Amino acid sequence: MALLLAATACDPGPPPSEKAAGAARAFIEAFAAGDYAKAARHAEGDVLRGVEVQRRAREEERAAHPAEVALFEKAMREHPPRVEVLPPRDAGDHLEVRVVVTTDSPRGPERTRYALRLAKGRTEVWRVRAWERR
């Protein structure tokens, strides 16, 4: 145990902004892939509740429109989303990380933009949707 403490004291690890960007990337990649359990492990309280709401909404959608959901899930398997994490921005009392998830759709690529605000042990996520055609 003392050896472990000594080792961690010598190696502080990456700066907080890199840790936050890594956590944001892990959360968004898991979320975009539909792996809500993994996303929840990378998230904190508020995001965890949001993930649960999203999971329930997806289950309701699956029950209401099974054929459409099956087509969507097949498309996601054939063309997995691409994830781009932009460099974190230090805004004083919080760190903001912007993430762009691009998925293919019949109308062209769909880009979903996420802004993660990481501050005081809380993570807040905003989502803005925009269609872009090739």
Question: 49-62: per-residue pLDDT in tens?
Answer: 565 677 787 788 77
pLDDT at position 111 over 50: yes
**The pLDDT of residue 118 is above 50:** yes
Mean pLDDT of the chain: 65
**CB atoms inside a 10 Å sphere around CB 66:** 10
Task: Domain ranges for the chain, please list them.
Answer: 16-131
Spatial CB neighbours of 82, under 8 Å, sequence gap ≥ 6:
101, 102, 103
| Complete DSSP assignment for 57-122 | HHHHHHHH-HHHHHHHHHHHHHSPPEEEEPPPEE-SSSEEEEEEEEEEETTEEEEEEEEEEEETTE
Sign of the alpha-carbon dihedral angle for 129, 101, 92, 20: positive
pLDDT at 32 over 50: yes
- Distance from CA of residue 37 to its chain's centroid? 12
Between these two residues, 89 and 43, which has the higher pLDDT value?
89
- Max mean pLDDT range (44-48, 77-81, 128-132): 77-81
Task: Count the Cβ atoms, other than its own, within 10 Å of residue 30.
Answer: 19
pLDDT higher than 50, residue 5: no
How far apart are the C-alpha atoms of 75 and 66, rounded to whole Å?
14
Query: Would you say residue 82 has pLDDT above 70?
Result: yes
Tokens of 50: 């949001």
Per-residue model confidence (pLDDT) at position 121? 57
8 has a pLDDT exceeding 50: no
CA proximity to 83, closest of 38, 133, 123, 32: 32
CATH pick for 16-131 out of 3.90.25, 3.40.50, 1.20.1180, 3.10.450: 3.10.450
